[in-house]
Each structure stands twice: as C-alpha cells, then as structure tokens.
Amino acid sequence: MKKPTHSTLIALVTVISLLPVFIFLASIRISDYKENQIRIAKSATAGVSEMIRQSISEKQRTVELFSEEYKSQILEAVSDPDNLVLFEKLENKIKSFFPDYFSYTLADTTGELIFDDFDGYIGSMCIDDLKTYVATKKHKTRIHPNPYAYHIDVIAEWQHKGVKGLLFISFKPDILGQILKASEPESQILMLVIKDQQNLIEVTKAGHRLHLTDRNDFRMSNSEIQQILYQEKIPGTYWHILGLQDEEHYLTAKRNIYLQMGSVYMIFLVVVLILWYVLHRYELQRIVLSDKLILKNQILEEENKLAVNVHERITTKLNEPIENLQAHVSSMMTFSGDVQFCHGKNTDNYYLLLGDFTGHGLGAALGAIPLADIFFTMAGEGCSIEEIAASCNKKLYDVLPIERFCCALILCWHKPDNTLDICNAGLPDANIIDANGKIKEDIGSGMLPLGIIPELEVNSVTIKLSESDYLLGYTDGLIEALDENGSMFGTDRIMDCIHHSTSKNLFNNLIDELADFTGKNSQQDDISMFILSFRKGE
C-alpha cells in the first residue's frame, strides 16, 4: 500500500480540522436565527398592540361622537323605553354609523338597563363590564361570547338637557383577526390571549375562538407556551399579544442551515474555482441590475412628472384667479396637502376654497382630485357654499381612509351687493380687515372638518362688506412654522403684521416675515394663505 502523499495528508487534515469549525458556524447561525425571530416577534407584537389600541380608541371616539351627535334621539328613546319604534329608529342610526354593529342598549348612570333584553343580545359579561365601568369609570375590552355572535363592547357617556346615561354598543370583532392576519410573520403565530384566565385564546388570524374548529381546548397547551418568543400587554384590554415560534418553520430552517453548511463543507476543496465563478456572475448580475435600476428610476421619474402634471392641472390650471386675490402655497414635499381653488372670474359670484388635508405628500394630495371635481362643478352651477360643503364632505367621507380628512374654508363673494357667504371647517380663524388694519370680524371654525362624518351640518355666515375691506385666510402650517430654535411663528406675529400693514403690502409683509423667522430651518408642513380684496373693479 502506498503511503499517502503530503498533499493528501494536508487535505485530510484540513478537511477534518475544519469539520468542527463548520459545526460551530452552523450553531451560530441557528442562534442568530432564534435571536432574529425574537426581534421579529417583538416588532410584530408591538405593531399589533398599537394597531389594536388605535382601533379600539378610534371606535371609542366614534361612539362618543355618535352619542354627542344623536343625544336628542337618545334622550327621546330613554324617556319612552316602551316605545319600540324609538328603539329601532335609534338602532337604524347606529347601524348606518357603524357597519360592524351587533347590538346596543342604554343604561342609566348606575348601570341599570333602560330596555329589557328579551332576545339575549346583552349577556352577563356585558352587564359585568357595564357595572365595572360605573364603579371605576374604566372599561377593558375583551371578547364576549354570545349565541348570536361573539363581540366586543364600547361604552360612552351621554348628557342632554340635564339627563345623563350610558350608551353601550357591541361590535363584531372581525377587525382583530384581520389585523393579526395582516401582521403575522411567515415564521410565527400571533395570538390574543387572556393570561389571567389560564391563557385563554381570544383571537388568532382565523378570527375569534369560535372559528378555531381544529382545537378541542381554547387554552394554550404547554408546548405552545414554550414556543412564546415575545409578549406585550395591550393597554385598555384584558389581552396580551403573543408571538409564537412556528415549530415546523423552525425545524425547516434548522435543517436548511445544516444542509447549507454541509454543502459548503463538501465543496470547500474547489472553493477558489467557485469563488471566481460566483464573483464573475455577481459582477454580470450587478451590471444587469444596475441597468434595470436606472431604467426603473427613469420610469418612476416619468410617472412622477405625469402625476405632478395631473395634480397641477386639477389644483392649479382649473383655477380662475382675479386681481383682487393674492395667494401663496408652499409645499413641504413634491405634492402639497394644501389646496386653493377659485372660480367665477367673470361672474357675479366668486368662489374660493382653501383646504388642508391631513398628512403630507402624495397621500394627502390625492384628496384634492375628488374635492376639485365637486368644487368646480358646483361653483360653475352657482350652488351655495352650504351645498358645496355638504357635497365635498360626503365625497371625501366616501373615498378617503378613516384617518384622512380636510380642514377647509369655503366662501362666495357676491359682487353686486358686496356680501360674503363663508364657512370654516377646522382651519384657523380667517380675518376680515378694514382699511385701517383693524380686524372687523374673525370667522372661526364652526363645524367639523370635511370627510369625518357622512352628514355634515354646515354653519355659514353672511357678512356685509365695505369696498376697503379685505379677507386673510391661512392654514395651520403658517402658525406652526418653526424657527431654528423650534419656536412657532404663532398668531401674534400674524396679528402684528396685520396692524402694521395695509391691504396692498400685508401679503408681502407676511411672506417676508415668515422667511426671516424660519431662516434656514427646513419646512415642517405645507403653508398656504391668501388675501382677497373686496374692492370692485380691481
């Protein structure tokens, strides 16, 4: 038998000595995988916790808005509890307000139900939560089982004409399962659990526990408890959101790591050739991907230019400015969430809308498209500002997400008799100023911003004008503009400019004062303002 050569011995020693190294590297990768899974679980549970908290808070807020909006109907139903017509009428209002509505009831301030629940929609857990709220003024959300539908409850206080009580509305909890389904990482399982009740499972991505048809026990098993990577308490609820390791995914990942390291180990002797080949292929792929990236950036740039042109066409080119109007819009980003529409240059009635959408950039600017369509159409037909405001509100409510709305100032200047119809929906006070720089009248916000509720009660005023009067309107971006020290521009500086300016130089004075104040500090919000002079013939 021939003795092994030195090269063979070196190869054998190298291969054998590197085996524990590769095993060690595999163990490190498995450890890194576990740590990464914990980070993913922490991020996912934190995100779900915040989304559920916001969802419940938003539901609480809308129920409180409903109780305030319909407090007279609630009082009417409470005053005549045996009148089923009043009960059903109020229920129809609630159904139209809340698509996920299940049931409701009314209670007095001691927690006693006003209506008898003969159908069994209000269970014992509902009554317990109601009594707890009366005693503590706190309500913690949980799933309530019911033969008709599992649900969650929201409690809001109402008061009208000296009478107080509680509005108790139950909602189907489908949104909770949808949040978990949308947020669940591929390698993990998310659960809403009440830990104080022996880890009772409330919701998974399949929905509430009634949908868990593959389980005989709605409480977590010992093996599931061992798979918990991270957990977080959801404020205002009985729930913890748990992130569990998917055991099958973990075993697959572990097997793949060993297979990968084993493959690397087996081909170690030809690593130089493979490295050259890989590096060569990588460079070719880099060039191809670089060319694709350049092409994609060019396409995105063209699409961005198209979007800008469409937005400018809708928000600018359809406008009909007049010499009486001085307007300024400064965008924080490419697209502005502020809009200024004007129409009626050659007519007796001149319309103007100043709007400020929530948010910034393209997301906020998209709301301008339906708003412009309604405004220019109805202004062209000579509609009243009440009709315009109501239609704009309905359109924005129908098309915008729930977190988006528009603060707006809408006006119509009737030139023949020099009167002004105006309404303010959430913007800072507009100021009518006389020739001496004194504020004759402030037009404050008299109603909700556009797009929050489906039916908006429009509060407008009609003002008789002098020809020397002029109107200043602006968005909150002007007030909240920051200098380099983080101080706001504020209303005091605006008032000072008004008192020391005339109708002809106030506009430029405000812009110059703003520029001097902000200096080199980056713009934090869209800023819009206008000055409209009511002198005829300008």
Rounded distance between C-alpha atoms, residue 179 and residue 172, angstroms: 14
Domains, in order of start, for the chain: 36-261 (3.30.450.20), 318-533 (3.60.40.10)
Q: Which pLDDT does position 6 carry in this prediction?
A: 55
Contact 434, 468 (CB under 8 A): yes
The pLDDT, as a whole number, for residue 285 is: 76
CB 319 within 8 A of CB 341: yes
**pLDDT the model gives residue 391:** 96
What is the rounded distance in angstroms from the CA atom of residue 188 to the CA atom of residue 45?
11
DSSP code per residue over 424-490: EESSPPEEEE-TTS-EEEEE---SPPBTSSSS----EEEEE--TT-EEEEE-HHHHT-B-TTS-B-H
R_g over Cα of the chain: 32
Integer Cα distance of 428 and 420 in angstroms: 18
| Confidence (pLDDT) at 305 | 65
Distances (CA, A) of 467 to 186, 345, 407, 410: 68, 18, 28, 20
For residue 2, what pLDDT is reported?
46
Q: Which of 10, 19, 32, 17 is nearest to 261 (CA)?
A: 19
pTM over 0.75: no
* 10-residue mean pLDDT series, the chain (538 residues): 56 75 84 92 94 94 94 92 90 92 92 79 88 92 90 94 93 93 93 94 90 86 92 94 91 88 77 56 74 76 62 65 88 82 91 90 77 93 96 94 93 95 96 92 94 94 94 94 91 92 89 90 88 81
Output the pLDDT for position 54: 95
Burial class (CB in 10 A: 0-12, 13-18, 19+), 335: buried
Residue 529, SS3 per DSSP: strand
Structure confidence at residue 340 (pLDDT): 92
